[in-house]
Amino acid sequence: MTWRVRYRISRTTGNGSATRHDTFTVEIRPDETVLDGIEVIWARQDRTLAFRHACHHASCGSCGLRVNGVEKLPCVTTVQDVTTDGGTLTIEPLRSFPVLGDLVVDPAPLFKRMQQVGMPLIRRAEPFGEPGDFHRFENCIECGLCLSACPVMLASPHYLGPAALAAAERVIAEPREADVPSLLRLLDGEHGVWQCHSAFECTEVCPSDVNPAGAIMALRARLIRERIKRLFGRGALAAPSGGDRDTKRT
């Protein structure tokens, strides 16, 4: 049993050029994914359609885009999750990233922000279970959905954003050789945690249980404690930093 679904896809050549929407009709099973439909369109209807995909199981974060205005990974979003037989899917690129073409965005703004906070790769904070247990070291797959969903990112281009702030919270929890005082000053700065307005959309759209909003609130609590300690000449904020971080380098 297949459904007849219309895909209304954003098209552009990038570099600020005009955007239009092309509509394609596909016959697709309701339990197939939104990405399956995009791939069918590319294969059989329009080979000029540009989009990203890789793992097809929410592990790489490459395929992130907006489906009917909400950020999703189309590789794990089934058609029946987001529309009905005869319905229309509006497919658009992520917000707050430069669009290179059609559904492809430049992920550099995300990675630059992650670099600023130290971009942790492996977390040891979780206890290890029985030998042979599968152990997920790091939840964030750097898909960028949270940056796209964040309303503050639309108005403040230098805001560190949910992904980097959640990553910073993990650096604070497991610093290793990281310069924690310097990182705390960055987070306490103009484009750090205080720019969050608690919309919680980052946590809602995260496909990987990172809970960026929760991490931001935890960082705020930490910074408040550090500010109180600094009044008495103690704490990480009172300590000299090991180096400067350029808060505007995003």
Partner 1 sequence: MAGWFDARRRRLGMWAFVLNRITGLLLTLYLFVHFAAISALYLGEGAWDGTMRLFRTPPFLAFDILLLAALLYHGLNGIRLSLLAINVGVPRQKTVFWSLMTTGALVLAYCALRIFRVLPS
* Residue ranges that bind partner 1, judged by CB under 8 A: 68-70, 95, 151, 154-155, 197-201, 203-204, 213-214, 217-218, 220-221, 224
HSE of 192 in the Cβ direction (CA atoms, 13 Å)? Answer: 23
Closest CB to partner 1 among 156 and 247?
A: 156
Closest to partner 1 by CB, 49 or 105: 105
Q: Among residues 179 and 201, whose Cβ is nearest to partner 1?
A: 201
Q: Which is nearer to partner 1, 88 or 115 (CB)?
A: 88
**CA 147 – CA 94 distance, rounded (Å):** 8
Q: Residue 71 belongs to what H/E stretch?
A: strand 70-72
Instruction: List phi, psi (to 5°) of 175.
Output: -70, -35
Q: Please state the closest distance from residue 152 (CB atom) to partner 1, in A.
A: 9
Sheet containing strand 65-67, strands side by side: 20-28, 3-11, 88-92, 65-67, 70-72
- Torsion angle of the four alpha carbons 229, 233, 238, 240, in this order, in degrees rounded to the nearest 10: -150
Q: How far apart are CA 246 and CA 231, in angstroms?
A: 25
Is 50 in contact with 122 (CB distance < 8 Å)? Answer: no
Nearer to partner 1, 102 or 169 (CB): 169
Residue 203: CB minimum distance to partner 1, A:
8
**Secondary structure of 77-144 in HEC code, one letter for each residue:** CEHHHHCCCCCEEEEECCCCCCEEECCEECCHHHHHHHHHHCCCCCCCCCCCCCCCCCCCCCCCCCCC
| Residue placing its CB nearer to partner 1 in the complex, 199 or 238 | 199
CA distance 129 to 11: 48
- Termini Cα distance of the chain: 48
- What is the closest distance, in whole angstroms, from the C-beta atom of residue 212 to partner 1 in the complex? 12
In the complex, least distance from residue 205 CB atom to partner 1, rounded to whole angstroms: 9
Is the CB of 150 or the CB of 171 nearer to partner 1?
150
